Structure 1
Amino acid sequence: MGLLSGGGLCYNLAQFGELTTAFVDRTVNQHQLSTYLPLTTLFGGGRRLVNASHEENMAALEEDARATCIGCFVSIIISLVLCNGSIALLGWSAARQMIRIRMLFLEAVMRQDMTWFDLDTDFNLASKMSENLMKLKEGMGEKLGVIANLVGTSVLCICQSLSFGWELTLACITVIPFAVAASVILSNVSTRFRLRSVASPSPSRVRHRAVSLLTSYKYTSPMRASSEVQYKVKATRDLYPFL
Structure 2
Amino acid sequence: MGSEEEIKHYVNGRDDNIAVSYQNYGSEGKCSEDKRKPEKMNMVSPLTVFRYSDRQDKLLMALGTTMAVLHGASLPLMMIVFGDMTDSFIASENITYPANFSLLNSTLVNFSMEFFSSLILGELEEEMTRYAYYYSGIGAGVLFAAYIQVSFWTLAAGRQIKRIRQEFFHAVMRQEIGWFDVNDVCELNTRIVDDISKINEGIGEKIAMFFQAVATFFTGFIVGFTKGWKLTLVILALSPVLGFSSALWAKIISTFTSKELTAYAKAGAVAEEVLAAVRTVVAFGGQRKETERYQKNLEDAKRIGIQKAISANISMGISFFLIYGSYALAFWYGTILVLSDDYTIGKVFTVFFSILVGSFSVGQAAPSMEAFANARGAAYAIFSIIDNEPQIDSSSNAGYKPDNIKGNLEFQDVYFSYPARPDIKILKGLNLKINCGQTVALVGGSGCGKSTTVQLIQRFYDPKEGTITIDGQDLKSLNVRYLREIIGVVNQEPVLFATTIAENIRYGREDVTMEEIEKAAKEANAYDFIMKLPKKFETVVGERGAQMSGGQKQRIAIARALVRNPKILLLDEATSALDNESESVVQAALDK
Q: Does 1:21 align with 2:84?
A: no
Alignment of 1:28-177 (within 5 A): 28-30=94-96, 53-112=116-175, 117-119=184-186, 125=189, 129-130=192-193, 132-134=195-197, 136-177=199-240
Q: Which residue of 2 is the match for residue 203 of structure 1?
A: 267
Q: CA deviation at 1:91?
A: 2.3
Which deviates the most, 18-27 or 5-14?
Answer: 5-14
Distance 1:141 1:214 in 2: 48
Instruction: Tell me the amino acid that sits aligned with residue 266 of structure 2.
Output: S
Instruction: Tell me the amino acid that sits aligned with residue 5 of structure 1.
Output: H
TM-score computed with the length of structure 2 as normaliser: 0.29
Q: Which residue of 1 is the match for residue 242 of structure 2?
A: 179
Post-superposition CA distance 1:123-145 (Å, at most 9, x none): 8818x624654564355332222
Post-superposition CA distance 1:69-125 (Å, at most 9, x none): 001101111122222222233123213321331232023222236796444xxx881
- Which structure features the higher share of strand residues? 2
Distance 1:160 1:148 in 2: 18
Pair 157,67 (structure 1): closer, same or farther in 2 beyond 3 Å: same
Q: CA RMSD in A?
A: 3.7
Post-superposition CA distance 1:2-35 (Å, at most 9, x none): 0111232223221121111111212205569xxx
Instruction: Tell me the amino acid that sits aligned with residue 83 of structure 1.
Output: A
Q: Which residue of 2 is the match for residue 4 of structure 1?
A: 70
Structure 1 residue runs of 5 or longer lacking an equivalent are 33-51, 219-243
Pair 31,167 (structure 1): closer, same or farther in 2 beyond 3 Å: farther
Distance 1:84 1:10 in 2: 19
Distance 1:169 1:214 in 2: 71
Higher relative contact order (CA 8 A, sep 6+): 1
Find the residue that maps to 2:286 and give its secondary structure.
helix
Distance 2:288 2:121 in 1: 87
Instruction: Tell me the amino acid that sits aligned with residue 267 of structure 2.
Output: P
- Aligned match of 1:215 in 281, 286, 292? 286
Contact 1:88-1:141 at 8 Å conserved across structures: no
Pair 139,80 (structure 1): closer, same or farther in 2 beyond 3 Å: farther
Pair 183,75 (structure 1): closer, same or farther in 2 beyond 3 Å: closer
- Which structure features the higher share of helix residues? 1
Distance 1:28 1:81 in 2: 39
Runs of 4+ in 1 over 4 A off after TM superposition: 29-32, 113-116, 183-197, 205-209, 211-214
Q: CA deviation at 1:176?
A: 2.1
Distance 1:183 1:214 in 2: 52
Q: Which residue of 2 is the match for residue 39 of structure 1?
A: none
Contact 2:149-2:205 at 8 Å conserved across structures: no
Contact 2:70-2:215 at 8 Å conserved across structures: yes
Distance 1:217 1:25 in 2: 77
Distance 1:16 1:3 in 2: 21
Q: CA deviation at 1:201?
A: 7.8
Contact 2:77-2:223 at 8 Å conserved across structures: no
Contact 1:27-1:57 at 8 Å conserved across structures: no
Distance 1:217 1:101 in 2: 43
Identity %: 22
Distance 1:28 1:202 in 2: 68
Contact 1:11-1:75 at 8 Å conserved across structures: no
Q: CA deviation at 1:147?
A: 2.9
TM-score computed with the length of structure 1 as normaliser: 0.63
Distance 2:288 2:83 in 1: 74
Which deviates the most, 198-207 or 155-164?
Answer: 198-207
Pair 9,204 (structure 1): closer, same or farther in 2 beyond 3 Å: closer
Distance 1:142 1:160 in 2: 27
Contact 1:30-1:53 at 8 Å conserved across structures: no
Pair 30,109 (structure 1): closer, same or farther in 2 beyond 3 Å: farther
Contact 2:157-2:203 at 8 Å conserved across structures: yes
Pair 31,139 (structure 1): closer, same or farther in 2 beyond 3 Å: farther
Equivalenced residues, count: 194
Distance 2:264 2:236 in 1: 42
Distance 1:19 1:129 in 2: 54
Pair 173,68 (structure 1): closer, same or farther in 2 beyond 3 Å: same
Distance 2:214 2:198 in 1: 23
